[in-house]
Structure formats: structure tokens, C-alpha cells
Structure 1
Amino acid sequence: MSQKRHILFLTRWYPNRRDPMPGLFVRNHALAVAANEQVTLLYVQPEPDAVKRYEITEEDDQGIYTVRIYYRNPTKAGNPFAMATKIVRFIIAHKKG
């Protein structure tokens, strides 16, 4: 008997707390793969209203180990460092996952 492979989905679209509709095709694809393999999914999303810099949630979504990381997004208009901050936080959020 062969051992299940561990498949990692890194996705930009996935159902989240603000909107359950984006990325349903990604979720359905992951569910199909999870029927035969071990699946982990990492979803990183900016959250303008976040209190903490990073918030990590974990759940078992019908056999998909799902990690969602929400990160605070700088929203001050005219901030010359806002784009760099967004990029750095996006990368750090992926490393946390």
C-alpha cells in the first residue's frame, strides 16, 4: 500500500470571512485531490480592519487542512512606504503559514 502524498495549495482566492464566494473552484479542486491525497491549503488575505498585524486561523474543511492568514494592510493615503509594507507583510504572512 502506498503512502498518501502531501499536496500544498498556495492560493490567492479562497472562501474567507468577508466573502464565501471567491475561489470556490480552488476549494472544489482541493476537495477532489483530498479524496486520494493529504491536502494542506494556505490562504493569505489583507485585512484593512484587522486589530492585530497577523491573525492565523486553522480548520479542517472536509479533509482539507486549511490555514488562513489575515494581515493588517496599511491604508493611509499618500504613505510612500505603504506598497513596500504591503509586500513585506504578504511575504511574512506566507512564512508564518
Structure 2
Amino acid sequence: MEIKLLIINVIFASMKEKENEKLNAKAIYNAVLKKIIAERTALGITQINVAQQLGIGENGYFKIEKGKTKLDLERLLLILEVLEITPIDFFKGIK
């Protein structure tokens, strides 16, 4: 009986750890989106300007910033190019 309880505890601990990793990834993703917005607004660049430079519609870019459309690595790098910030500088302070 003790072994079954131990196995169950290990399984639940593993599940909880995986859930925490997912929550951490989500928090980092949200921090990235917030920093994109902060950098863009600090430079006085509108969503329309970024959308035009990326070759996408305003609504498409709005959805990226709001997290409704997933931001892939290629698109992130293009956005950073528009904002004239290196990936190294951009990710400083994001934990």
C-alpha cells in the first residue's frame, strides 16, 4: 500500500511540475508581448506603422499584441527589427 501511495505522489508531483512550467512559459510570453507594446509606444510608433512594415493588416498586428494570434520567432525578430532593438537588449529583464 505504501508503494502505491508513493507512486501516486510521484505522479502528482510530476504533473504539478509540468503545470508550473506551462504557467511560467505563459508568463514569459505575456511579458514579451507587454515589452513589445512598451517599446513600440516609447518610440511613438503606432500599431498601424508596425503592421505596414511587416506587410500585414492592422487587425493582424493588433491580434499579435493582444495574444490572440501566436507570435512565432520569425515574426518576433521582424518586430524587433522595426523597433530597432536587438534580441539581446529586448530580452534583458524578462524572466
- Bigger helix share: 2
Per the TM superposition, whether the score is higher than 0.5 is no
Q: TM-score range by the shorter chain?
A: under 0.3
- Bigger strand share: 1
Length-normalised TM-score, structure 2: 0.23
Length-normalised TM-score, structure 1: 0.23
Q: Which has the higher contact order (CA 8 A, sep 6+)?
A: 2
